[in-house]
Chain A
Amino acid sequence: MKTLLLRRLGVSLPTLLLVSMMVFGLQKLLPGDPALALAGEERNPEVVEYLRQKYRFNDPVPVQYAVWLKALVHGDFGTSVRTRLPIGTMLVEKLPVTIELAILSMLVALLLGLPIGIFAALRRGTPFDYGASLFGLAGLSIPHFWLGIMLILVFSVNLGWLPAGGFVSPFESVGRNLLSMLMPALVLGTGTAAIMMRHVRSAMILAMKQDYVRTARAKGVRDRTIVLRHALPNALIPVVTLGTLQFGELLAGAVLTEQVFSIPGFGKMIVDGVFSRDYAVVQAVVLCTAAVFLLMSLIADVAYVLLNPRLRS
């Protein structure tokens, strides 16, 4: 286990470096002049030139990159050129929001996807199975944006049960925090649940056909034990892969869901950063996301080992 962790960490650092280089380089390929985007409606040439100097837009890209990397090593993510706020603070504010939303959506996805997937596999061809397929299809094909607005109209505007959007910090009020996260988590979670359900179902069907299941059945083991002790852990391996990937994706930000529910997370921050050519913000968020993604794949590897004893040697 220790060597696994060390090996993974050894790979992670160069990966992050490579990601940062790619993001940095690709951003510079974007058309549009960041100094112009910043200089306000009148775009006074004097101000534009000053901004170019100040933010080193005129320097060669490798030089800009080196300057940025040096500051980063010292823990300085830089300042947003648009709002003049320190990016480090922005990340500290947004990361917990994004992580909370991702965890809650994952919870929704697991609570819906796992049981539905298992039962659909065990009751193949029954109305429940078809119903589950329908749910999967709907979950995948209903756009998050539309679902979000519908939920707001029903639960906030008409019924007045839930806040229509915005984010309340859990330190302010845990109850209001959960209420404000309920609809966004549901919107994101149902999409992931649908994918999860399809995977669990097919993995479960496969597992139930294995020799060890037939053996266990021949020994007279109860159905529940067969499913929970023998088939499910084996069926979970693809689910772990999928779950961690999906989780990483949720962390990278769910732009539309964030926009509908005015959740101040990573997604809209990247998009707005790109549109206003606020390079430092985009770099910081992408790097942060990449780091979390790597962490997630490490967790997935550890989970494989825990689930599959054959990998432990």
Chain B
Amino acid sequence: MRRVATVLTAISMTALALVSAQAATLRVGLQDDPDALDPALSGTYTGRFVFAALCDKLVDISPELKIVPQLAEAWEWAPDGKSLTFTLRKNVTFHDGTAFDAAAVKYNIERMKTMPDSKRKAELAPIASVEALAADKVRFNLSEPFVPLLANLSDRAGMMVSPKAAGEKVGEFAAAPICAGPYQFVERKSRDLIRVKKYPGYWNAGQIGYDEVVYYYVPDSTVRLSRVRAGDLDIAERIAPTDLKIVREDANLALHSGQGLAVAHLMFNVGAGAKADTPLGKNATLRQAFELAIDRNVINRVAFNGEFLADNQMIPPSSPFYDHAHKIPARDVAKAKAMIAAAGMTRVPIELQYENTAGDNRVAQIMQSMAGEAGFDVKLLPMEPATAIERYMNGNFEAYIGNWSGRSDPDPTLIAFFSCAGSQNVNKYCNKDLDVILTWARGEADEAKRKALYAKATDIYLTALSSIPLYHPNWFFAARKSVGGIVMVPDGLLRLNGVKPAN
């Protein structure tokens, strides 16, 4: 009998050891396979998601969208706004053991500005030169005052990679990235998993809660959720709004949600080639009528179970620069009809193009039916994404449902879509007054004054309505209750500092 008891104890001890060994691994389900794991090249959300473990940035953003220290402890703008000096954190090392210092910062900024296929060039364009003043002091000299720079440095443009590794492995860096984040790269099985392990030399090592984090590629959102429910995964990102009920009702799961930065908006071609020659493209009053014909809350309710945020602005309400004076106009079909009649028309035709995804399909159909009641004949044109994007970039559309990931600062979004030469201004809207205001705002260091400028800008773009903002998606993560310390930030990235097994 005693022997049996001993054996049983041994078995249960082994089982316990196995369980605790497993508990030190955090398993995360990602919807997309990340692209190149190099901050200079990365262009996907899931890539940034993995970088949150691997690569610390000069600065970070808080849940309230304030800039907070990360690798830089402090910073100071020159009075003329044309230079920014960072004081760097001391005793920080990259995963290869080399030191993080001012020279490394200089190397990184120059690398991202000069690498031929770097996707960070626009974000860092205002930086004319970088000077290493001391081991822990570095100055960025700007060609013009540019307040959004800090926000840009809170994302990939501010991620620091090991100069030694990047210099030695040109072209191969993405296969084994070396940064200064809490976890270091172990392996990547393409289209399957990315494994990272705790970096003991991390400057904030006390906040690391797991020995290992594994990111699995699980494309289907229902399957991702099932795997968290089965205990196969600990966290799944982007749960479909239609599945949230299951998460809320599962006693083992916690739903982590938060406002996002992204925006979905209906763009009208107002000046790009032949497709701009439509009643809606030529007449702002008709676009205003279109806005009155649709009900954003209905779109949110029907397409997303009411789980997203219906809104009429490009900037999300979580931003300190959101303009609360411009409320969503209520749906008014009679007024929309009157405006169409005043424009001398009865039926207004428009062809609506969008990427053939479940969400956009529903949104397009709902808008078609609502706008139809007011007199708009919306013809739907769903397209395979790569084809749709090419047509979008070439301005080859009458109307397009745009999905923009958003930025923590209003500048990149508003400049991209509404300045005359904006990179996303593919529908060719141009208003010189708005250009002046937006340029002024990016140099204005005083937050209150800057906010007033964005209020003016909002007034202009909401009157012209070259684009009708529709809603902001919210973030939904499902996690096992055994995972503690998850904090949602509007950029939707899972920061791992402080994430540890809950007791």
Contacts and interface: CB of A to CB of B under 8 A. Distances in A.
Interface of A: 30-34, 36-44, 46-47, 50-51, 54, 80, 82-86, 89-90, 93-94, 149, 152-153, 156-157, 160, 163-167, 259-262, 264, 268-269, 272, 275-277
B232 A31 contact: no
A80 B190 contact: yes
12 contacts: A33-B386, A36-B390, A41-B43, A46-B121, A51-B117, A93-B189, A93-B190, A164-B223, A167-B192, A259-B223, A262-B218, A276-B386
A94 B218 contact: no
B78 interface: no
Nearest to A269: B191
Contacts of B34: 83
Given A42-B416, A42-B423, A44-B121, A82 B389 contact: no
Interface in B49-99: none
Contact of A47 (B117, B229, B231, B387): B117
Contacts of A36: 386, 389-390, 393
B216 interface: yes
A262 B227 CA distance: 10
A36 to B, nearest CB: 6
B121 A32 contact: no
Interface in B378-418: 384-387, 389-390, 393, 404-405, 416
A192 to B, nearest CB: 22
Contact of A164 (B43, B227, B387): B227
Contacts of B218: 165-166, 262
Interface of B: 33-38, 41-43, 116-119, 121-122, 171, 174-175, 188-192, 216-220, 222-223, 226-227, 229-232, 384-387, 389-390, 393, 404-405, 416, 423-424
Given A32-B389, A36-B393, A84-B36, A149 B191 contact: no
Contacts of A50: 116-117
Nearest to A161: B230
Counting from the closest, the 9 A-B pairs by CB-CB distance are: A40-B43, A32-B386, A264-B192, A156-B230, A164-B230, A84-B174, A164-B227, A84-B36, A40-B119
A44 B223 contact: no
A39 B43 contact: yes
Given A165-B232, A268-B219, A84 B390 contact: no
Nearest to A80: B190
A261 B220 CA distance: 9
B26 to A, nearest CB: 15
Q: Which of B33, B42, B226, B230 has the most CB of A within 10 A?
A: B230
Nearest to A42: B423
B222 A149 contact: yes
Q: Which of A46, A47, A80, A276 has the most CB of B within 10 A?
A: A47
A276 B387 CA distance: 10
Contact of B41 (A31, A44, A84, A166): A84
A33 B389 CA distance: 8
Nearest to B45: A41
A79 to B, nearest CB: 9
Given A41-B405, A83-B174, A156 B226 contact: yes
A153 B226 contact: yes
Given A32-B387, A41-B405, A54 B117 contact: yes
Contacts of B33: 83, 272
A165 to B, nearest CB: 6
Given A93-B190, A160-B230, 16 more contacts: A32-B390, A36-B386, A36-B393, A38-B43, A44-B119, A47-B116, A82-B35, A83-B35, A83-B36, A83-B174, A83-B190, A84-B38, A90-B190, A156-B227, A165-B223, A262-B227
B267 to A, nearest CB: 15
B220 A156 contact: no
A268 B116 CA distance: 30
Q: Which of A39, A40, A167 has the most CB of B within 10 A?
A: A40
B469 to A, nearest CB: 17
Contacts of A30: 386-387
Nearest to B41: A84
A42 B216 CA distance: 27
B220 A43 contact: no
A165 B404 CA distance: 32
A156 B232 contact: yes
A163 B119 contact: no
A189 B6 CA distance: 44
B223 A37 contact: no
Given A40-B43, A277-B386, A85 B188 contact: yes
Contacts of B424: 42
B165 to A, nearest CB: 15
A278 B173 CA distance: 20
Contacts of A262: 216-219, 223, 227
B387 A157 contact: no
Contacts of A41: 43, 404-405
A101 to B, nearest CB: 13
B230 A157 contact: yes
B217 A152 contact: no
Given A39-B119, A93-B190, A259-B219, A164 B226 contact: yes
